[in-house]
Amino acid sequence: MEQVRYGIIGAGMMGLEHFRNLQALDGAVVTAVADPHPPSLEWAQLTAGSDPLECFADAGALLGSGLVDAVVVSTPNMTHAAVLRDVLASPFPVLIEKPMCTTIADCREVIAAASERDAIVWVGLEYRYMPPVARLIQEVEGGAAGTVRMVAIREHRFPFLAKVNDWNRFNRNTGGTLVEKCCHFFDLMNHIVGSSPRSVFASGGADVNHRDERYDGETPDILDNAFVIVEYEGGVRASLDLCMFAEGSEHQEEISVVGDAGKVEAFLPSAELRVGRRRDWRAGVHSEIVHDDRVAHEGFHHGSSYLEHVDFLAGVRHGTKPAVDVSAGLASVAVGVAAHRSIDEHRVVTLAEVLEEEHP
């Protein structure tokens, strides 16, 4: 294919982010979008500018239009399962925006459907692609930290943004903050550690953000802060420190990997990478700013969505396996589900109980 035609299902904030990235990508063109919300379709038309674009009110019409070769699903979280039933029954390669689904049962349904098709299914956990994070992963895989023993991730940031009809204000729609937002971080932990998460202990609350908001008399219940500890097979430990009322921070994300030979860190938005080795500690820590010259659109996520689309497009063209597959999508959601249960029940929660209860 000289040019791959994309259909975007869900034209909200992230749908248009994917749109802008695809506009910057050679060999890609967005030909159609689907969204039941008329203002979202208007925003999509504005994003398209003078380029031709067909707009549909539902995903089925887009899938049957004959206008697309590949699909991006970026609808609200709670709609992923229903939308993917139609998409995965089609012949088109698909990139699913995170989280893959909001429940373990729905994730398993997606995995089963994906196993019965030839076209690739890619999960949009793009934090792996942020240039300093990708470099951190490369350094760790190259032995800079030695045998990994601890992974620590801190995100201190602003509150959740407004979405269409404020759907992201309630756990029943998002899967909960630790699924909706933090599946990115749990995926990074799983990927870096390279073994299966075994248990989760978490503490969190809804203490500052959205306390004065009401929707049909309901107060939002999404968490705005949490600590999460994940233990892995082999004894590796990982932690997440999340605060969503910490706009006054120099770094929004800090990622640290420590092993028996050294420490590797990445910082965002500064894009700084630091590598320190125990045997060379007197020489100090090596520090550099990491960029990727391939990035043609920075977007909301430091160029990671663009780089993700570079690989996805290559997968569409050549039929190669997805770099982030549905099993990774399930694993990232499962840690978030276990973390929420740990908070609710004030106990350590094993991944086995979370995964087995819906798949005996």
CATH for the 128-297+331-354 domain, from 3.40.190.10, 3.40.50.720, 3.30.360.10, 3.10.20.600: 3.30.360.10
Residue 222 pLDDT exceeds 50: yes
List the strands of the sheet with 237-243, edge to edge.
286-289, 272-277, 262-268, 253-259, 148-156, 237-243, 225-232, 197-205, 349-350
- pLDDT recorded at residue 356: 85
Alpha-carbon distance of 111 to 122, in angstroms, equals 11
Residue 247 pLDDT exceeds 50: yes
pLDDT (mean) for 306-320: 96
| Domain limits, CATH 3.40.50.720, in the chain | 4-124
**Residue 266 exposure: Cα atoms within 13 Å on the Cβ side:** 26
Alpha-carbon distance of 307 to 311, in angstroms, equals 7
Class of domain 4-124: alpha beta
Q: Comparing 283 with 270, which gets the higher pLDDT?
A: 270
pLDDT (mean) for 23-39: 97
Q: Could you report the per-residue pLDDT of 113-154, keeping only the tens digit for each?
A: 999 999 999 999 999 999 999 999 999 999 999 999 999 999
- pLDDT recorded at residue 283: 85
User: 107 in the Ramachandran plot: left (φ > 0), alpha (ψ -120 to 50) or beta?
Assistant: alpha
Residue 275 pLDDT exceeds 90: yes
pLDDT (mean) for 53-59: 97
- As beta bridge partners, residue 30 has 6
Cβ burial of 36 (10 Å; 0-12, 13-18, 19+) is middle
* Predicted TM-score of the model (pTM): 0.96
C-alpha pair distances (Å), 338 with each of 59, 320, 354: 32, 32, 6
Under a CB-based contact definition with an 8 Å cutoff, are residues 219 and 235 in contact? no
pLDDT (mean) for 312-332: 96
Residue 359 pLDDT exceeds 70: no
Q: Comparing 48 with 282, which gets the higher pLDDT?
A: 48
Alpha-carbon distance of 181 to 194, in angstroms, equals 21
- pLDDT recorded at residue 119: 97
- pLDDT recorded at residue 360: 38
| Domain limits, CATH 3.30.360.10, in the chain | 128-297+331-354
Angle value at C-alpha 251, between 288 and 209, nearest 5 degrees: 165
- pLDDT recorded at residue 73: 98
pLDDT (mean) for 302-317: 97
Residue 358 pLDDT exceeds 70: no
Q: Could you report the per-residue pLDDT of 155-208, keeping only the tens digit for each?
A: 999 999 999 999 999 999 999 999 999 999 999 999 999 999 999 999 999 999
Under a CB-based contact definition with an 8 Å cutoff, are residues 204 and 188 in contact? no
Under a CB-based contact definition with an 8 Å cutoff, are residues 193 and 232 in contact? yes
